[in-house]
Amino acid sequence: MDKEKQAGLQEKVRVEFESYSHNEQFARVVTAVFMARLNPTMEELEDVKTAVSEAVTNCVIHGYEDRIGTIRMELSCDHGQLTVEIKDWGMGIGNIDQAREPLYTSKPSRERSGMGFTFMETFMDSMEVRSVVGEGTTVTMKKQIGNKILEKKVV
Ligand SMILES: Nc1ncnc2c1ncn2[C@@H]1O[C@H](COP(=O)(O)OP(=O)(O)OP(=O)(O)O)[C@@H](O)[C@H]1O
Ligand SMILES: [Mg+2]
C-alpha cells in the first residue's frame, strides 16, 4: 500500500502543552482535527472531545494543582479505532479504584462533582488508568469511530 493510503488507516500524532486551564480547549481542537480523517459522526466527535476535556482538566487541577507542568496527548488510529492517551507527571493517584467511582472527588470543597472518570468511561468504549504516586498519571481511552457509516454501506 502506498504511503498516503496507509495514512488515515494507521497513524499517530503527539502534542505536549503546559497545564494552563485554557489548554483544555487546545486539546479539544487538536482532537477534532485528528478525528476528522476518521469520518466521525457529530455525536462521536462530541463524546471524544468531552472525554479529552475531562482528562486534561484532571491533569491541570489534580495532577499539577497549583503548579504548571507538562501534559502529553497522543492520538492514534488503527482502522477506525481511535486511541487517546493523556499523561501528566504530577502527583499521581493513591487509590485508582476509589478515584474511578462515580461521585468520588478528593476536592469536594472546590465544587468538583466527581464525575470526570465516569464521563470518560461512558463516552468512550474503554478507559484505562495507570498512576504512580509522586510520578504521574496516564489515562488511555479507546473508541471505534465511524461504525455507523460502515454499517449503512454494508446494508
Ligand atoms: N491526573 C490526575 N492526577 C491526580 N489525581 C487525579 C487525576 N485525575 C483524577 N484524579 C483523582 O481522581 C479523582 C476523581 O476524578 P474525577 O475526574 O472522576 O472527579 P473530579 O475531577 O474530582 O470531579 P469532576 O471531574 O466531576 O470535576 C479526583 O478527585 C482526583 O483525586
Ligand atoms: Mg475530573
Q: Which of 100, 112, 121, 130 is catalytic?
A: 112
In a domain, 152, yes or no: no
pLDDT above 80 for 95: yes
Among 62, 103, 107, 138, the mutation site with the greatest number of ligand 1 atoms within 8 A of its Cβ is 62
| Cα 67 from chain centre | 21
Which ligand 1 atom is nearest residue 88's CA?
1
Check pocket membership of 90 for ligand 1, CB cut-off 6 A. yes
In a domain, 154, yes or no: no
Q: Are 45 and 35 in contact (CB under 8 A)?
A: yes
In a domain, 127, yes or no: yes
The model's pLDDT over 137-147, given as tens digits with 9 standing for 90+, comes to 999 999 999 86
The boundaries of the domain holding residue 128 are 3-144
Mean pLDDT of 47-64: 98
pLDDT above 70 for 28: yes
Give the pLDDT band of residue 2 (cuts 50, 70, 90): confident
39: left (phi over 0), alpha (psi -120 to 50) or beta: left
Per-residue confidence (pLDDT) for residue 108, from 0 to 100: 87
Which ligand 1 atom is nearest residue 118's CA?
18
In a domain, 12, yes or no: yes
pLDDT above 60 for 155: no
In a domain, 153, yes or no: no
Per-residue confidence (pLDDT) for residue 109, from 0 to 100: 82
- How would you class 40 by CB atoms within 10 Å of its CB: exposed for 0-12, middle for 13-18, buried for 19 or more? buried
pLDDT above 80 for 6: no
- Number of the ligand closest to the Cα of 110: 1
Q: Which residues contact 49 (CB under 8 A, 6 or more apart)?
A: 28, 31, 32
Is 58 noted as a catalytic residue in this protein?
yes
Q: What's the whole-model pTM score? A: 0.93
Give the pLDDT band of residue 111 (cuts 50, 70, 90): confident
Mean pLDDT over the full length of the chain = 92
Per-residue confidence (pLDDT) for residue 110, from 0 to 100: 74
CATH code assigned at 113: 3.30.565.10
In a domain, 90, yes or no: yes
pLDDT above 60 for 154: no
Q: Atom 9 (ligand 1): residue with closest C-alpha? A: 58
Check pocket membership of 132 for ligand 1, CB cut-off 6 A. no
Per-residue confidence (pLDDT) for residue 17, from 0 to 100: 98
In a domain, 95, yes or no: yes
